[in-house]
Chains A and B, each alone.
Chain A
Amino acid sequence: MEKAEAASPLGRFCAEFSESRVAVAALAVVVLVIGLAVLAPLFAPQDPYDIGKLVLGDARRPPGFVGAGGYVHWLGTDAQGRDLLSAILYGLRISVQIGVAAGAIAFAVGATLGATAAFMGGRVEILIMRFIDLQLSFPAILLALVLSAILGQGKGQLIAALVAAQYAYFARTAHGAASAERAKDYVVAALSTPMPASRVVFRHILPNCLPPLIVVATVQIANSIALEATLSFLGLGLPVTHPSLGMLIANGFQYMLSGRYWISIYPGVALIVLILAINLVGDQIRDQLNPRLKR
């Protein structure tokens, strides 16, 4: 009885997760990066959004240069004279914000749609799922490109474009899992009590569909960060005054061949590390939730 707490599904899950060293390290990286991003104003040597503080004479300096501010630019400066370390920290902040917000909204919308379709069945199911199939046949990047071109620049518009491009993956997964749960006796039991349909969907079916959805969520958050970077790299997405990682890479791209590699490379490394770490965490969660891979 004293192990009652550890025996909860979540408790067992965490115990198993901590057995994989790679996953724990990846999780630590994710937490560290997100922590740095959230607390960027505390760590960053410079506020990269304060145009008044930027000194053009310090532009495109290599890593280790001591600029007019009197501090070391550990990762060099970009074409506007921004300290790259500060710009990367602030850029991560935007990327994580947008990635998580878009992922969370797409999760909520997609899971609700998919589970509702599976629960209702009949024409409603056919209508919802065929539309989602249709949308899945386009690459997400194409849809996001078109949408952000139509909606224009800004955080809200960018998140909307990302959600529209990604909710379908959640819906697909939720529909598959919910169709299996729908037929189980505990759902029939709840319906025969009787309980309202919305309660059955949200309290019984969806919680039992969470495992595959969480896997999709980790992958999709990483994807929306990458997608946001891609859009910003292409010049859609966010305004230049608030550079995200993608825009920093784009800004430095033209100097790559002139030897000033650091403007593009360091934001790129930060992006890769973040996405890789999230994916490693996601892989471990997927392995743990897949009963066929149980050792």
Chain B
Amino acid sequence: MSEPFIAVDAVSKRFDPRVSLGDQIAGALGGAVERRYVRAVDGVSLEVAPGEVLGLVGESGCGKSTLGRMIAGILPPTSGAVRVAGKPVMSPGRHPRKQTTRVQMVFQDPYASLDPRMRVGDIVAEGPLVHRLVTKADARAYVANWLTMVGLDAGAAQRYPHQFSGGQRQRIAVARALAMRPDALVCDEPVASLDVSIQAQVLNLFLRLRRELGLTMLFISHHLGVVRHVSDRVAIMYLGRIVEIGGANAIYSNPLHPYTKALLASVPQLQLEDGSDVAFAPIQGELPSPLSPPPGCHFHLRCPFAEARCRVDIPDLRPAGDGRWAACHLFEKIAKTV
């Protein structure tokens, strides 16, 4: 693999719950105060090559959005580092700030991510003007160019976000991100809040932009079909850790990790190609609380293959050939038995 464009190195994010004043006083007086925190992302490392699309899949609450936000420079990691084009995304120190414009983000809900009081043209032009990517005189033509690029009318610049549909709003959000001339986009569930009929249009927009602009993308979704459609490689996340990563086709045709298997089997499919009905198998149990994750492999409580050591040892990501990696003690054994 060539030099990675996005390099995530052993990144963790811990959220400390607010300690109440009473507990603070109790703690200062020597009382035992239980401090529980959420490890939303737990020692994740991954790399995205220039021009590659990496899909990131997982259940709600598995930390995929948190990881995306750390890569986009919105949240500082608690430990570890995110580098883009060799440079840290956020400045060090107590009040970290994002120090690159080369990664931009597209948010899930286009009804929340556009300032309702600004005209579309100002929304798209603001960042480039602040960062002097364009002069005030040229801003109008610049905005029109990006609006056309995402499939909107150049006249949209004069209107307000509320005058557009969800799909159109998401196009505006994409235009805003692209107007910063980024090399990489972090897309956090960019089609999840859109109508199914619109989803395909917006996905095709992403594919076309990637082709035309050579964008590197991190595509976060809980929807396996959507991710397969757009990604070169796919990473599967479970409770803050990456459990499997590899080429999209390889993962979908031959999942290694039991969680990936379960996830794929849980997708409701009505018919196989030969016409026979297929029942889908929901994953047993629920996602454990990230406040008190199980020891060992996080998935062992729900895993049909779990053995004694799965309850104790945390499995590392191990190479499985063909550039695939899986974090499971047993994937070779499972592959033989099934």
Contacts and interface: CB of A to CB of B under 8 A. Distances in A.
A192 B155 CA distance: 27
A1 B130 CA distance: 30
Nearest to B105: A192
A1 B101 CA distance: 35
Contacts of A186: 112-116
Contacts of A196: 130
A192 B104 contact: yes
B117 A207 contact: yes
A70 interface: no
Contacts of B74: 188, 191-192
A195 B99 CA distance: 10
Contact of A193 (B107, B114, B180): B180
Given A8-B160, A9-B160, A189-B105, A194 B97 contact: yes
A209 to B, nearest CB: 10
B126 interface: yes
A204 B114 CA distance: 10
B58 interface: no
Given A191-B74, A192-B98, A4 B117 contact: no
B117 A184 contact: no
Interface in B1-48: none
A80 interface: no
Contacts of B107: 185, 188-189
B204 interface: no
A185, A204, A207, A208: residue with the most chain B Cβ atoms closer than 10 Å: A185
A184 B116 CA distance: 11
Given A192-B72, A192-B74, A192-B98, A204 B115 contact: yes
Interface of B: 72-74, 97-99, 101, 104-105, 107-109, 112-117, 126-127, 130-131, 155, 158-160, 163, 173, 176, 180
6 contacts: A7-B160, A7-B163, A186-B113, A188-B74, A189-B113, A192-B72
Given A184-B112, A186-B112, A208-B117, 14 more contacts: A1-B155, A4-B159, A7-B159, A186-B114, A186-B116, A188-B74, A189-B105, A191-B98, A192-B72, A192-B104, A192-B105, A193-B101, A194-B97, A203-B126
